[in-house]
Each structure stands twice: as C-alpha cells, then as structure tokens.
Amino acid sequence: MSIAIIPARGGSKRIPGKNIRFFAGKPMIAYSIEAAIHSGLFDRIIVSTDSPEIASIALEYDAEIPFFRPPELADDHTPTAPVLLHCLQYIEKTYELPEYACCIYATAPLIQPRFIKKGYETIITRKVSSVFSVTSYAASIFRALRITKDGHLAMFWPEHELTRSNDLPEVFHDAGQFYWFNCRKFMERPKLYTDDALPVILPRHLVQDIDTEEDWQRAEYLYKALQMEQKQEE
C-alpha cells in the first residue's frame, strides 16, 4: 500500500493562485494528480490544502480531501516536512498507515509517471529512507560568478579558474517534483533529505521551477514542445 500526498496551500504570493491557475489548458495541480493516477501506484491520492477552491478543483480531478490543513501549517514559511507529518498522523488515526508515501508538488506540470514509478522501484528494492528527483546543473557550479559590492565579477571558487570542465564533478539539484519516503522512518525523523537518500535523475528539459512569470512561460514552452514530440512519435 502507498499513498500520494500533494501539498497545495492557497496563499501563493509570487504567482497568485499558482496551484490552480490554468497551465496549457488545465489547472496546474491537475498535472500532478493525473501523473499520480497514471502511475498506478497509489491507493489514495490526498491533497493537503487550506483552500476550499483548491479542494474543489482537486476533487474534480479525482484526488481526496479528507481534511483541511490548519492555518499554522499554511503560511509562507512552513516547510514541506511538517505538512507531510500532519497528513501521516491523520492517516494513522483514521486509516492504515502505508509503508511508503510519495510527496508530489502541485506545481510540477512536466512530471512523468515513469519517473514516479522509477522512484518507487528504487525505494522498495534498496530499502532506503527516501528517494527523490534531481537533475544536473547546466553549467558547473564550481565556475559560478558573483557580483561584488562595487559591481565587479568574482569567482566563488577561484581555485577552479583553470580547472578543466571535464575534471570538475557533476553536480545535481533537487528537481522539485516528487519525494518517496518510508512512512515509519519519516514519522520518527521528519526529514526528506535523509543520510541514505537515493536519486532519480531527470533530464533537464523535464525540470522547471515556477516562481516567476518568466518561469511560467518557459515551462509552458517546454510542455508544448513535449506534446508536439509525443504526437510526432504516435
């Protein structure tokens, strides 16, 4: 038994209504719900929200809203872990606690069911505490630049100025799509970045943070390009 938990609060500041704003013809959250459904892995798909409007749309796409998230877990500074813990505590009291759960972010329209399934296969075969999606940086972070107070450029790691790119290690960042975790271990220690965490590596063209209008437009371009590619393959 496994469940999907989709956190989706109603108070987005940078892009108002981001979780349910229409993206390429559907509410943003619909893509995460549909990916969870199409993976075929979940006994329940629960949306944790404080918003009746988000709840109504989530129900339209066949997710569950067994509770409304309390206000103290729905502000700008609430991290993901307490939200997941609140959901698991509710499930433990009301249903049966599953062995595994997957947190899927509501703002991941490029998410693919096949990678959710790969994460599940990894966590059940490797018996680790967590598995989550990552992608590589397009350029090495060891060549990163900063702008100084007087407006000049400076390297963060000047010792790597002459290091060949091939000699620099590949570096990854959180793709912000999904996080598989062992429920019992998580309840004992509510943390997604566990010491034994394993990655599901996504191609960069399937990853886009959406925090600004520019991010939104780029994500729609990527999504439409993927749709065209799929039609050509059919």
pLDDT single digits (tens) 53-92: 999 999 999 999 999 999 999 988 899 999 999 999 999 9
Residue 13: the pLDDT is 77
Residue 75: the pLDDT is 87
What is the rounded average pLDDT of the residues 22-45?
A: 97
What is the rounded average pLDDT of the residues 163-172?
A: 94
By CB neighbour count within 10 A (0-12 exposed, 13-18 middle, 19+ buried), where does 32 fall?
buried
Q: Is the pLDDT of residue 198 over 80?
A: yes
Structure tokens at 230: 């799929």
Give all domains of the chain, ordered by start, each with its CATH number: 2-134+173-233 (3.90.550.10)
Residue 232: the pLDDT is 74
By CB neighbour count within 10 A (0-12 exposed, 13-18 middle, 19+ buried), where does 187 fall?
middle
Q: b/e for 120-138, b at 16 or more Cβ within 10 A? A: bebbeeeebbbbbbbbbee
Residue 229: the pLDDT is 81
pTM, whole model, 2 decimals? 0.94
At 118, which amino acid appears?
K
Q: Which residues contact 198 (CB under 8 A, 6 or more apart)?
A: 122, 123, 126, 128, 130, 131
Residue 99: which pLDDT band, with cuts at 50, 70 and 90? very high
3-class SS string, the chain: CEEEEEECCCCCCCCCCCCCCEECCEEHHHHHHHHHHHHCCCCEEEEECCCHHHHHHHHHCCCECCCCCCHHHCCCCCCHHHHHHHHHHHHHHHCCCCCEEEEECCCCCCCCHHHHHHHHHHHHHHCCCEEEEEEECCCCHHHCEEECCCCCEEECCHHHCCCCHHHCCCCEEEEEEEEEEEHHHHHHCCCCCCCCCEEEECCHHHCCCCCCHHHHHHHHHHHHHHHHHHHHHC
Of 32 and 95, the structure prediction assigns the larger pLDDT to 32
Highest mean pLDDT among 11-15, 71-75, 101-105, 209-213: 101-105
Residue owning tokens 């995460």: 32
Residue 230: the pLDDT is 78
Residue 98: the pLDDT is 95
pLDDT, tens digit, 9 for 90 and up, residues 12-27: 778 889 999 999 999 9
Residue 234: which pLDDT band, with cuts at 50, 70 and 90? low
CB 10 within 8 A of CB 54: yes
Residue 101: closest CA among 13, 188, 232, 192: 192
Residue 23: the pLDDT is 97
Residue owning tokens 């007087």: 150
